[in-house]
A and B are shown apart, each in its own frame.
Chain A
Amino acid sequence: MTILTVSTTIIVFTLKIFDVVMVMTGGQYDTEVVATQFYRQFFMYRNFGYGSTLAIVLLIAVLPVIIINLRQFRKQGGF
């Protein structure tokens, strides 16, 4: 049960990782992550629409993880 909590948290945090990637490679050499691409598009190229879309994509990517988690809660009678 705690394993589920921790793995959900870690998965969500890893999907949005930004600072490590930005500092180590700056997103070059094929190491782009969603968050670095968001930063590049939103703050550097001023593509506000593109950046916002990336943020929404990140949100959608996390939804399955959350849904699985909530289903587990319901099974255990907590929800």
Chain B
Amino acid sequence: MASRLIPLIARAEHAVKAPVFDCRMCGQCVLHSTGMTCPMTCPKTLRNGPCGGVRADGGCEVKPEMRCVWLRAFERSRSLPLPPVWKREFNDLRPPVDNRLKGSSSWVNLLDGRDQKTPKGWGPLHAGCEAS
């Protein structure tokens, strides 16, 4: 029963998140810590902040007509009324994307802890990522 539900949850998640956040269904959602701005919409899919190519007017290096996704994330993480713990996580070192999770529901992956799993060599999700 549950296994039949899972694809439905993924479709529901996509239906909610795609129109609002342009969600790409990476399956390991970090929206809460990135000012409710999806880092997978960055043309370089960067998870750890803006690259050095941001234009002086705030335009994206790759798509100059688009405002840098990380610039938006930075501004929103400050301006949106988000819980302080989410705001603090903005500077976390996020691990490389697990490409196996693409297309799956991050809600399910959050509940069963799948999105917390990192490669053994990386170490635990929140270890050693504190920016001094």
Judge: A and B partners, yes or no.
no
Query: Measuring CB to CB, which residues of chain A are less than 8 angstroms from any residue of chain B?
Result: none
Query: Measuring CB to CB, which residues of chain B are less than 8 angstroms from any residue of chain A?
Result: none
